[in-house]
């Protein structure tokens, strides 16, 4: 059985959830949570529904990570960039290296729990300027589709990596982090103007940034002072 979500039903659902939470959670956050299953932000979802547009199919949505896969990620990324103005786009692949160690020492289920806990801090609440996806294995995708060309991309992405680390450190480590294995992650990143970005361009980003993310985790094992995100200087 298939159910359709229109603008009015989305409003009713959000209103009901607000009433259940006693207004402890902001309405905007509830819309963001509803929209997250479509790989969207709340305001973008409501705008699409108000204009009678269909929401993207969840053809590669990962139910355990609660994130879209690569194909839906690219659909959302390219749609967000569709106006093709002077904005730039920042893109990175995050490698959770600690999951490999947990898999070796504690098994596949423990590694999956570790990755799911990591994924939970990437959900829209508090992350409203970025879009995220699960690439599979120990890799996640992140993108900022509309950045001011004058902004400091490196600091912005590194601050987000630090924010993710801080969020993880505040959570109980019981199941997600077996004793002696803290969260260990790093990213390979790239910034481009958005005038010539297409799917083939994004595919190249993914491959190059994934390679760099793995290297960056190794580098940080030797010296944690190295940044979590390493920006590639070119994408030939």
Q: What is the CATH number of the domain that holds 77?
A: 3.30.70.270
Q: Which domain does 112 fall in, by range? A: 70-231
Residues pairing with 140 in the sheet: 94, 134
Q: Clarify whether residues 45 and 74 are in a common domain.
A: no
Q: Clarify whether residues 80 and 185 are in a common domain.
A: yes
pLDDT tens for residues 37-74? Answer: 666 777 767 766 766 665 555 567 788 888 888 888 88
Q: Which alpha helices (DSSP H) does the chain contain, by range?
A: 7-20, 27-36, 42-50, 70-80, 98-106, 108-120, 153-169, 199-222
Q: What tokens were used for 37? A: 């299953």
* Residue 60 resides in a domain: no
Among residues 42, 27, 90, 37, the alpha carbon closest in space to that of 67 is found at 37
Number of structural domains found in the chain: 2
pLDDT tens for residues 193-218? Answer: 766 677 888 888 889 999 999 999 99
């Amino acid at each position: 059985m298939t159910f359709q979500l229109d603008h009015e039903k989305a409003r009713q659902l959000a209103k009901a959830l607000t009433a259940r939470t006693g207004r402890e959670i902001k309405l905007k956050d509830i819309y963001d949570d509803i929209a997250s299953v479509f790989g969207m932000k709340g305001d973008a979802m409501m705008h699409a529904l108000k204009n009678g547009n269909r929401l993207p199919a969840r053809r590669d949505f990962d139910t355990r990570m609660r994130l879209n896969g690569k194909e839906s990620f690219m659909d959302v990324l390219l749609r967000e960039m569709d106006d093709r103005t002077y904005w730039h786009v920042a893109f990175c692949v995050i490698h959770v290296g600690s999951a490999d160690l947990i898999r070796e020492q504690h098994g596949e289920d423990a590694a999956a729990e570790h990755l799911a806990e990591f994924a939970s801090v990437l959900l829209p609440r508090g992350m409203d300027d970025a879009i995220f996806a699960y690439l599979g294995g120990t890799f996640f995708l992140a993108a900022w589709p509309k950045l001011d060309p004058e902004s400091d991309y490196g600091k912005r992405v590194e601050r987000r990596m630090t924010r993710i680390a801080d969020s993880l450190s505040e959570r109980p480590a019981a199941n997600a982090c077996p004793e002696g294995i803290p969260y260990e992650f790093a990213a390979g990143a790239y910034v481009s103007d958005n005038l010539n970005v297409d799917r083939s361009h994004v595919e190249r980003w993914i491959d190059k940034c994934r390679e760099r993310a793995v290297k960056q985790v190794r580098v940080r094992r030797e010296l944690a002072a190295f940044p979590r995100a390493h920006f590639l200087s070119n994408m030939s």
